[in-house]
Amino acid sequence: MTIDYVEQALNLREKLIARRRDFHRHPELAFEETRTASIVASTLSELGLEVQTGIGKTGVVGILEGDQPGPTVLVRADMDALPIREETGAAYASETPGKMHACGHDGHTSIALGVAELLTPLRDKIHGRVKFVFQPAEEIGKGANAMVADGVMNDPAPDVSVGLHLWNSLPIGSVGMAEGPIMAGALTFNITVRGKGGHAASPHFTIDPVVCAAQIVTAFQSIVSRNMDPFESAVISVTQINAGEAYNVIPQFAELKGTVRYFRKDVYELVTRRMKQITEHIAAAIECAAEIEFSPMTQPVVNNGHVRERLLPVFENIVGQGKIDSIRTMGAEDVGVFMNDVPGVYFFVGAKDQTADHYYPHHHPRFTIDEESLPLGLALLASAVAEYVLPQAD
């Protein structure tokens, strides 16, 4: 039995586009994806899948049970939009002011529904089952954990996990599937610097927390450049500085906030240890007191070598040799939660819009994709699942 997934996906092309445009018109923010979730649930139910709703608040799970025994493949798609006011001018632009699908999750939801539609008629030939996981709240990094807390990794527990992200900096026809860490772990930090306030004209009676905060920001710049192995990667970005309210008052406090990105646990440990040392010791050196708090957001997304090796020829069959890219990004994703204890692959599907006058990245108010990436994404994702549940020869 040989199935041409590209042809099958192209048969669903109009449906994929129409569905993606409908989701695009009606974007919903993290944990508010009720309309999207109900369309997902009813589509899966109509196909005859066993459906659970309200998993991780607004998440949906659908199980396509094959007639033969075999493994469980988890397919993950995220459903949430962003608090951005759309400026694309598209005919199917957001009808909700201040909300927009500016990351492509509308396409992911449409593609995963397409996988269910494409594979359901093959049920009698499927060995094992496909567990479709429609996740809420990816953009705030909380949806995957919420679904796991509601038991998504049990009954049945997946044996392998696959998912994709449409990627609009990658040309159509290219697939990003590097081995190992492909998306960064992320955390946020809050620093409070305490000094002693007073009159700006008499600094000698004060301990200035602004000067201390500035020195901490500057000293952080040496961690990546001087403490880290040059072959490793990390980002430390201070993104907020808050202190004082008047021209002539030295404030009591200064606050610094920002984010750290990393690929490896030892890099995470090095960076956070040095940030803590720098914060406390610079403060002590200029007689302030300072503390730093870290809050984890997401862990790195790590592609399993065996799964990647197995899917490489499958994908090359679809996009051709030399089209598998090895891009990595310091962007963060919570899909890693589904790939923690289960071998898996998360891949990027080229979706670059050649008609755009400029390049507008993910999360930009003019973010667009080439919708031909939808049938291509469907062919890739369906064939990845089939590699595990549909033996090639009958």
| Sites of contact with Zn ion (CB under 5 A) | 103
CB of 290 to Zn ion, least distance (A): 32
Residue type, 239: T
Q: Which long-range contacts (CB under 8 A, 24 or more apart) does 264-268 make?
A: 264/181, 264/232, 264/300, 267/228, 267/232, 267/233, 267/234, 268/185, 268/187
Q: Based on CB atoms, which residue is closest to Zn ion, 62 or 107? A: 107
Choice between 106 and 387, CB closer to Zn ion? 106
Residue whose CB is nearest to Zn ion in the complex, by number? 103
Smallest distance from Zn ion to CB 34, Å: 20
Question: Least distance in Å: CB of 382 to Zn ion?
Answer: 21
Using the minimum distance from each CB to Zn ion, give the nearer residue, 103 or 385: 103
How distant, in Å, are the alpha carbons of 51, 55, 182, 223, 300 from that of 218?
Answer: 53, 44, 29, 10, 27
Residues 341 and 55: their CA atoms lie apart, in Å, by 20
Residue type (1 letter), 233: S
Q: How far is the CB of 103 from Zn ion (least distance, A)?
A: 3
Written as one string, the DSSP assignment of 300-338 is PEEE-HHHHHHHHHHHHHHH-TT-EE---BS---GGGGG
What's the DSSP call for residue 225? I
* Least distance CB 167 / Zn ion (angstroms): 9
Minimum distance of Zn ion from residue 176's CB (angstroms): 13
Q: Which is nearer to Zn ion, 109 or 272 (CB)?
A: 109
- Residue closer to Zn ion by CB (options 100, 160) is 100
Could you say which DSSP state residue 94 is in?
-
By C-beta, is 6 or 112 nearer to Zn ion? Answer: 112
The tokens for 274 are 């040095």
